[in-house]
Amino acid sequence: MDFLPLYFDLKNASTLVVGSGDAAARKIELLLRAGANVKLCASDPIKPIQLIIDSGSINLVATAFDNALLDDVVLVVAASGDSETDDAIAAEATARNLPVNVVNKAESSSFIFPSIVDRSPIIASVSSSGSLPVLTRLLRSRLESAIPSSFGRLAEVASRYKDQVREKFPDINQRRRFWENHLEGLFAEKIFSGQEQESLTILENSIKSDVFKPGGEVYLVGAGPGDPDLLTFKALRLMRQADIVLYDRLVSQPILDLVRADAERVDVGKERANHTLPQQQINELLVTLAKQGKRVLRLKGGDPFIFGRGGEEIDRLSDEGVPFQVVPGITAASGCSSYAGIPLTHRDFSQSVRFITGHLKDDTCNLPWSDYVQENQTLVFYMGLVGLSIICEQLIAHGMPADMPIALVSKGTTKDQKVVTGTLTTMPNLVETEKVKAPTLIIIGEVVSLRNKLKWLD
């Protein structure tokens, strides 16, 4: 181990930074965030540093380094950018047993600044011991995605009850199970979603109760159109803590692979005319599992509130008093159009967008076609592949130009994405010759003509 990770309490401690550029500015910011008193030695500081000086947050004590500047400090940062000057500062600081960091020069430093994920009072840090800062930033970004922004608040609230929990559960294993359940359960989720008073009630009731019984909840999560990189941070967090997962066929395998390894998985299917479980049974299963105390992840392709029947599911949960959360996902229209290089709006071509389901609850395609034939508008049909010929035929019959551009995006945002473009007249034949497979999104409008220029993924 090249460096031992330590956390210094620098509140009101006197520190010295030597330097006037970007590197010095970054270190000054970190020291101020830690509550340190910062003295600065700099000539011609850059504007961000000068603004901090003008605000009175730091003291500009000299324009050139002198050993006397080290007389009353507890930590030193050498960021002058001049190798000889920085080495001289490091040598003098080392002789005085002062911790010193020479920016971008680990071999001359007695300590280095790690890459920090700040969820105060929770702080996580990552370091490559100065060998590869790019890798450090990559690891930090992964931690950022895994640690909710309100994790610090969770720590603050939970810490208030440490003594009560220790008194209630004198055995350390009991305490561990208690905290694991609540810090990954409904108590934590209420904190993360801003419902702090409810979180306090949950924890206090659990401490008072003679029987420790975990509470169930349903997470209605949008998985996006297929690319796992399009998941939200919150979606990923809930996926990794659910006890059981109910997923649709539109959820890609790479996304399912991100679910907690020991979570039970239930395929509820849901493709046109072939439902592994009818919607009503899915609704009841969500209620049953949550009432058993399980954290239930209802994972849906796209966004749960855009043709995903999410409203029907939480309506039932609400009737039964089951706690739930809804996490929006990138809907297929947004994801597939972006990956196909087709902007849904454009000042020259389209000022509005309509999302339309290609088949209705009764499996018909009886739609208000006249409303869809408007200038400067983009139409996006979900689940319309089976009825494609009817869609093209009806739009032409109601006045849309027969040469209106149309695109089919099959398996959008995945490695198997396929895009076919044509016109309302030619597309019904193209879909046969190109062997387009579901799931497929249909985009109709002048914006489709921009694809040849903007198809970045191809």
> Which residues are known catalytic residues?
248, 270
Q: For residue 77, what are the β-bridge partners? A: 17, 101
389 is in an annotated binding site: no
82 is in an annotated binding site: no
Amino acid letter for position 450: L
Residue 280 Cα distances to 266, 274, 285, 294, 314, angstroms: 16, 14, 9, 20, 12
Q: What tokens does 103 get? A: 């920016």
23 is in an annotated binding site: yes
Helix and strand numbers (H, E) in the chain are 18, 17
226 is in an annotated binding site: no
Q: How far apart are CA 295 and CA 440, in angstroms?
A: 32
Count of beta carbons in the 10 Å neighbourhood of residue 261: 7
How many residues are present in the chain?
458
Q: How far apart are CA 162 and CA 59, in angstroms?
A: 41
- Whether 312 contacts 361, CB under 8 Å: no
Q: How far apart are CA 16 and CA 26, in angstroms?
A: 14
Q: What tokens does 85 get? A: 């000057």
141 is in an annotated binding site: no
- Whether 341 contacts 456, CB under 8 Å: yes
44 is in an annotated binding site: yes
115: CB partners within 8 A, 6+ apart? 125, 126, 127, 133, 136, 137, 139, 140
- Whether 238 contacts 304, CB under 8 Å: no
332 is in an annotated binding site: yes
Q: How far apart are CA 367 and CA 394, in angstroms?
A: 9
Q: How far apart are CA 76 and CA 267, in angstroms?
A: 58
Q: How far apart are CA 95 and CA 246, in angstroms?
A: 63
115 is in an annotated binding site: no
- Whether 46 contacts 19, CB under 8 Å: no
225 is in an annotated binding site: yes
Count of beta carbons in the 10 Å neighbourhood of residue 52: 19
331 is in an annotated binding site: yes
- Whether 296 contacts 276, CB under 8 Å: no
Q: How far apart are CA 238 and CA 268, in angstroms?
A: 19
Q: What tokens does 7 get? A: 């956390």
Q: How far apart are CA 220 and CA 315, in angstroms?
A: 12
Residue 196 Cα distances to 61, 172, 192, angstroms: 45, 27, 8
Q: How far apart are CA 302 and CA 276, in angstroms?
A: 19
Residues in binding site: 22-23, 43-44, 225, 301-303, 306, 331-332, 383, 412
Residues in binding site for S-adenosyl-L-methionine: 225, 301-303, 306, 331-332, 383, 412
Residues in binding site for NAD(+): 22-23, 43-44
